[in-house]
A and B are shown apart, each in its own frame.
Chain A
Amino acid sequence: MSAHAESHDEPIVLPPTSLSSIVLTRIVPPVLFGLFVLLLWEVVVRVNQIPFYILPGPLLVGETLIKDWGSLYPSLLVTVSITLSALIAATVAGVALSVLFAQSKWIENCLFPYAVILQVTPIVAIAPLIIIWVKDIRAALLICAWIVAFFPIVSNTTLGLNSTDHNLLSLMQLYGASRRQVFWNVRLPSALPYFLGGLRISGGLALIGAVVAEFVAGTGGVSSGLAFRILESSYTLQIPRMFAALLLITGTGILIFLVLTFVSHMILRRWHESAIRREG
């Protein structure tokens, strides 16, 4: 007998996605559009002679970015390091808490409402408190960013751990698997796509949390990352420098998103529906 002989049993071979077609459809159009908008912006600024302290043209922003790189770069490092530390801490704590939830419904019922409370309380409202309580400013910023980034990972991973195929669980029971074996072999891998989805959301939120906390700290006169540079520039009407700092924040956010999307794709590409191109 041979599976090859079955007309309905041919393996599905997915045609490889060519790099050039991705570049043509996914990269070229948005880049062209972006360049067009920048050009329009520059033209509008120049034709209307808008003063740079109201709206600087993109060329001036670029120039400022290079000129002020010496002071912007250390701020960028501060923001990035707080964001990444918060994301890592949120991942560790989030996964640990989800695993705890998965051990018993009772623990989940007990603690989940508090995770929700942490999530719905606006970070701007509690950041001042945290900054007062925690002496070390970096630690305070880290806590703020962590609070914001933490929930999507807990919520998604918990959902994932509870979404295991029931028949697979029956099968594990039939084969006499221990709780530990069930967890490592079936429940954890089932939760992986959910966790990665949560991680992607948390990546962006960690940056937002860090920036918001920096603003709050900055209004109190404590100097820190890029958000402080924006605040400082607005006080002194250095609008091009404000745009340059904003550009760096947005760039960081995009980079985090791209890296996490890529990681998620590499992990799921062989088996999960989300990472496989639909035919037809």
Chain B
Amino acid sequence: MTLGDNARRSASVLRPVSGSQPALLTLKGVSKAYSTGVVALKNVDLTIHQGEFISLLGPSGCGKSTVLRLIAGLGELTQGSIAWQDGRNPLAQKTDIGFVFQEPTLMPWATVFKNVYLPLKLRGLSKSEARDRVNQAIEQVGLAGFGDSYPRELSGGMKMRVSIARALVAQPKILLMDEPFAALDEITRFRLNDDLLRLWAEQQWTVVFVTHSVYESVYLSNRIVVMSARPGRVHADMVVDAPYPRNEEYRTSVVYNDYCRTASTYLEQAMTS
């Protein structure tokens, strides 16, 4: 799969920063219509490269969550195709996909440990076999010592950390995140942004991150795909060519500001077009 295959019909096309990396999956002419007649996506072309941190940015109703669900194999395409680099279809390799929802989506009756253990349990690993990996994942999200707590006893930010640990424990190739921090306060969100970037660097994931926040997308990602609504389609595809690790210094820098302005302009175009 070369970049040449990835014809973009976007208003503004920029070279993807990780063009040197091989493509992980390609969406080609993907359309999705619901039984209600609503066309959620129309003719979406998108190539996601290994190791990328892509944000899907757009107004509500632009189908960014639908893109995630289709990549995850949750729901049928109406038209088009999703091709994975190694030829496998998404349903056959579900263990390679991590999904984090807007809500923590934990099992309230199970402890933090058991929630994080779930993906491994479903794969048939016994508790003792999985124990080390589960504890490691809990530790990686900064919740060491909370294994026996119940979700009810945790704050919103901590629940989201558990949700991330559960995605982490299955060692996914690609992590799909659907506005995961939208319901959190700004202080917690900034902290989780930093932790997510650290984990991304450590685990060498590919992340597809859905957000409606320009600032969050510019802070986190090295590529932003701006989508427009009704029907959902790709409006612009921009590179955020700022070095990692990123921190407060980046958040207050001129470069960051410029990227935010550019992304905002695209977003505005997307909403008026």
Contacts and interface: CB of A to CB of B under 8 A. Distances in A.
A170 B97 CA distance: 13
Nearest to A166: B105
A12 to B, nearest CB: 6
Contacts of A170: 69, 74, 99, 101
Contacts of A171: 99, 101, 105
A55 to B, nearest CB: 51
Given A11-B154, A176-B122, A185-B121, A167 B188 contact: no
A1 B142 contact: yes
Interface stretch (B54-62, B81-89, B143-151, B254-262): B143-151
A177 B119 CA distance: 9
A8 B155 contact: yes
A1 B247 CA distance: 14
Given A176-B122, A189-B109, A6 B94 contact: no
A175 B170 contact: yes
Interface string B144-187: 00100111111111100100000000100000000000000101
Interface in A158-183: 165, 167-168, 170-177, 181
A197 to B, nearest CB: 15
Interface residues of B, number: 43
B95 A175 contact: yes
A174 B268 CA distance: 34
Given A11-B146, A189-B107, A174 B97 contact: yes
Interface residues of A, number: 33
A186 B198 CA distance: 32
Interface string A2-17: 1100111111111000
A181 B120 CA distance: 12
Contacts of A168: 105, 107
Nearest to A14: B153
A108 to B, nearest CB: 22
A187 to B, nearest CB: 11
A3 B107 contact: no
A271 B158 contact: no
A270 interface: yes
B49 to A, nearest CB: 22
A165 to B, nearest CB: 6
A1 B158 CA distance: 13
A172 B122 contact: yes
B157 A8 contact: yes
A168 B108 CA distance: 11
Interface of A: 1-3, 6-14, 165, 167-168, 170-177, 181, 185-186, 189, 192, 270-273, 276
22 contacts: A2-B142, A3-B143, A3-B158, A6-B155, A6-B157, A9-B188, A11-B146, A11-B153, A11-B155, A168-B105, A171-B105, A174-B73, A174-B97, A175-B94, A175-B122, A175-B123, A176-B94, A176-B122, A185-B122, A271-B108, A271-B110, A272-B109
